[in-house]
Amino acid sequence: MRHILRNWELWCADILESHFSYPALLHYRSQHERQSWLAALTTMLDLCSLLLIGLDGLDLPTSRFLFAIARHTAVDLAQVYLTSPRKLTSERLSSEDFLHLREDLEKLGLNFRRADAEQQLAEIRKLYEPFIWNLADYLHFDLSPWLPETHPVDDWQTSGWDHFAAWSSTKMEEIVHLVLERYRNLP
């Protein structure tokens, strides 16, 4: 796990250097839905926040370094684009969601070391979420909540034809036939 955190630390440093040096890169987007550098950065900050609070069985002091460079990346890029931090008007992790998160972690054998973990997590999140929210607003990205609302289907599991999946194979053949007929009749 330390090696993974170290790789993410280097990734954050690379994002900071490249996007700070070449601000136009900030606007490049992935060709795939739900895959953005800002989402990855936010996920790493969220993960480090949990590790900084302390989970039984996970003692990763290197998470402090990853949190530091990831937050530095968020803050500096927000400054480059003059998106000053703002007071948060919506909540990515409600108290109810925190309870679900705690339950999910406990199922994995990971328990918070502190009784005031929810309060500690809220304090740590204040260090980066205002900057992340502003970058997301500026770039017209939707920030993901801490807990998934549904079970998303990965891009490799879908195709452009999947919205026809609920129909019968006969109906699908009719649609394909109509499309091919129209194509053949084009001048």
Which residues make Cβ contacts (< 8 Å) with residue 53, sequence separation at least 6? 112, 113, 114, 117, 120, 121, 124
Beta-carbon count within 10 A of 117 CB:
19
d(CA 114, CA 126): 19
pLDDT score, position 161: 63
Beta-carbon count within 10 A of 168 CB:
9
pLDDT score, position 127: 95
Where are the chain's structural domains? 2-150, 153-187
For the chain, give the percent of residues with pLDDT over 90: 46
Residue 182 near residue 175, CB atoms below 8 Å:
no
For residue 43, pLDDT over 80 is answered with: yes
Residue 132 near residue 81, CB atoms below 8 Å:
no
pLDDT score, position 175: 73
Residue bearing tokens 């590790």: 51
For 94-149, how does the pLDDT look when each residue is reduced to its tens digit (9 = 90+)?
999 999 999 999 998 899 998 999 999 999 999 999 999 989 888 888 888 888 77
Residue 40 near residue 46, CB atoms below 8 Å:
no
82: alpha, beta or left, given left = phi > 0 and alpha = psi -120 to 50? left
d(CA 187, CA 185): 6
Whether the model pTM is above 0.85: no
